[in-house]
Structure 1
Amino acid sequence: MSLLSVTEQEYLRTSLESKNNNNLQPIRPDGRKIDQFRPMGISLDFLPTSNGSTRLVSSDGTEIIVSSKVECVDATGLDLGDFLVIDLDIQGYRDDSIYVNQMKSILYKSLNSKLMESGCLKINAKYSFKLCLDVLVLSKFSYPLSLISMAIYTTLQSTNVPMLLESESEKNANISGRSGANQPKDIELNIDELPQFNDYDMKPLNFQSPLIFLIALIGDNCIVDPSELESSVADNCLLVSFYDKKVTAPIKSISLNDSYIKGFTPQHLQKSIKLVEKIAPDVVAALN
């Protein structure tokens, strides 16, 4: 709920709808440009019992913690959706609330297909890693989905998985190959063997997850990373995903308030995509 009066909301909305004469940008309360994020700090690998972790704190007081755990599972008979688990806990909301479930669904759909396409979880023909992400939003002062996606991105960038030990069948195949025997190495010799991992050596998961950008629509203007005040007067909001150097699905609209609810035009969609294409490479570079 907005803390502004009706008059203050209208004044703020008029400011965000307007454009000044210098750079044709709306006047935001905190002086940011339409493509500028709020400052934030990120700490990595601060949870020793996880495979990767991130603590993200935004300048508005939003604080998010993400941790990742991987486990080896028998992939026989599992569906593509069984290799990723996302547990989202937002302070002040029930786990079964529409607000939490909607956000979890968007994160899952955005991440799961890209994760399976990359093949980074596959161990061999029979076994794979299962990735579990725990997301804890300790405090929030605006819709946190974009910041959550950034925290997940840096978590997976820092996630390490155990390295495989060479099995006896692989050793025998290597010996046969070195001895000159006319017998190619069968890469599936160990498909029925439980993978054995090194106790100390780890390797990066090597996966860059999609990023989700929030674009608030106010009048004809498209504004990235809306604050709580800006969200309270926004007509609508577009969630635009960015992956592998391009805008990708899902692209979804959500409402940020109960007072100003309107649709969006093809021009809004085009502006939002161009805005994400402009800012996303710099965001990826900063997170890396």
Structure 2
Amino acid sequence: MASQRQATSASQVPHLSPAELSYLYTSLSLPKTPIRPDGRSPTQFRPLSAETNILPGTNGSARIGFADGTQAIVGVKAEVEKTIIAADTLDSRSLGQQGDQLNREGEEGSAAVSGQGEWVQMSIEIPGFRDDDALPVFLSEMMRESLVGSVEDGKDVEMAGGLKGRLVINKRWHWRLYIDVLLLSQPLAYPLPLLSLTTHLALLSTKLPKLKSTGEEDPFFDDDWAAAEYLYPRITNKPAKHTTTAQSHPVRPPVTLLVISVGENIIFDPNREEIAVADAVLAISVTRTGDSDTLKLLSIRTIDPPSRLTQPGIPNSENVNMLGATAPSDDPALLNPATGEEEVSRVWRPRRGGVKRSVIARMVKTVLEKGGVGEEVLEGLEGVEVI
């Protein structure tokens, strides 16, 4: 599990008074029945609208918009590229035989590919951010990382990652994907879930020309776009509930869900007000591999909420994240004997320290379990009609 300290847009930090923050934290941490500002249940996602194939000249595209007006568009382009196998992947017997061939191909200007992770290029544009700012760079790398996740336990590439195996044409050629992500408005909350869901839908709609060549021949394709094949095959007929074959659980692109904990409660798809008082924020990436009826966990990233972004060594009286909640005091009656810091009744204070392991475990389990939030999201995206 990796941690990342992120620069946050001013629009993502709500301007709430200490009393409002305290009320919000108390409402979200109520046992059994947390009260969210918009009335949703803890596992309920915001309503959204989605459509696919909206960009001409792309292999696949999608748009998703939330009810608050935040929208994202993703376009996917594919091109054929020659594969050069890295020397460390060749065995000793084939190294000498293929060395001359690799050198000749390199002199001809072939693209050297040191790893399959380079077969997918992703760029994210967010209004108000430069391309090299921390937020778009981190979001881009995190989403690309889940798409080209490494093979584990010797499993087949296609079963483990779902994407890299589908980009292979033969031993000498592969597809290279360019994924361009555009957020159409200032982010009103951490934009990762919106960008991830839109990318997932764009990949589901992506088509590649039908291959007509065979074996190790130079690839040539069918000119008829109507014969093009989906990168991720669509399921036209929904299988019966008792079916347990791999076909009933098709390989699908990963999705990254944002989950927060407030007290002992777990809340999905938080808005910016909820993130402001969160004890922990996790970005959990999952996918469906096709070899199991359960989801596969790809990665867990921790994201620091605004309350944890204060640099160390700054006293509370000067902490802008405290919003004036504390002030220096000489009255010993107002100081906490354990910490020596001032206690203010009914005023929210940012949580310090870690989160219980049991809470983290429940956050992951709620996403991965059968019939859980992860399956609900994937089934909802599967239901979007790809035209």
TM-score normalised by length of structure 2: 0.65
User: Is residue 80 of structure 2 the alignment partner of residue 72 of structure 1?
Assistant: yes
Q: Segments of 4+ in structure 1 off by > 6 A?
A: none
Question: Any idea what SS the aligned residue of 2:190 has?
Answer: coil
- 1:1-288 mapped onto 2 (5 Å cutoff): 1-19=13-31, 24-77=32-85, 78=113, 79-113=115-149, 117-118=161-162, 119-139=165-185, 140-166=187-213, 188=215, 191=216, 193-200=217-224, 201-206=227-232, 208-244=252-288, 245-258=294-307, 259=321, 260=350, 262=352, 263-277=354-368, 278-288=372-382
1:20-66 deviations in whole A, cap 9, x for unaligned?
xxxx1211111111000000000100111100101110112211000
CA distance 1:261–1:155, shift in 2 (3 Å): farther
Q: Which amino acid aligns with 1:159?
A: T
Deviation at 1:242, TM superposition (A): 1.5
Distance in 1 between the 2:358 and 2:33 partners? 17
Deviation at 1:99, TM superposition (A): 1.3
Distance in 2 between the 1:265 and 1:61 partners? 35
Question: Any idea what SS the aligned residue of 2:138 has?
Answer: helix
1:98-132 deviations in whole A, cap 9, x for unaligned?
11111112111111127864311111111000011
Distance in 1 between the 2:69 and 2:211 partners? 42
Deviation at 1:247, TM superposition (A): 4.2
Q: Which amino acid aligns with 2:182?
A: L
Deviation at 1:261, TM superposition (A): 5.5
Between the two proteins, the alignment pairs up a number of residues equal to 261
The answer on whether the counterparts of 2:286 and 2:299 sit within 8 Å (CA) in structure 1 is no
Question: Any idea what SS the aligned residue of 1:209 has?
Answer: strand
Identity %: 33
Q: Which moved more, 1:238-247 or 1:147-156?
A: 238-247
1:138-178 deviations in whole A, cap 9, x for unaligned?
12211111121111111111100001123xxx5xxxxxxxx
Question: Any idea what SS the aligned residue of 1:199 has?
Answer: coil
Distance in 1 between the 2:220 and 2:296 partners? 39
Q: Which amino acid aligns with 2:364?
A: I
The answer on whether the counterparts of 2:204 and 2:230 sit within 8 Å (CA) in structure 1 is yes
The answer on whether the counterparts of 1:156 and 1:209 sit within 8 Å (CA) in structure 2 is yes
1:56-105 deviations in whole A, cap 9, x for unaligned?
10112211000101100001141222200001111111111111111112
Deviation at 1:241, TM superposition (A): 1.6
Deviation at 1:137, TM superposition (A): 0.9
Q: Greater relative contact order: 1 or 2 (C-alpha under 8 angstroms, separation 6 or more)?
A: 2
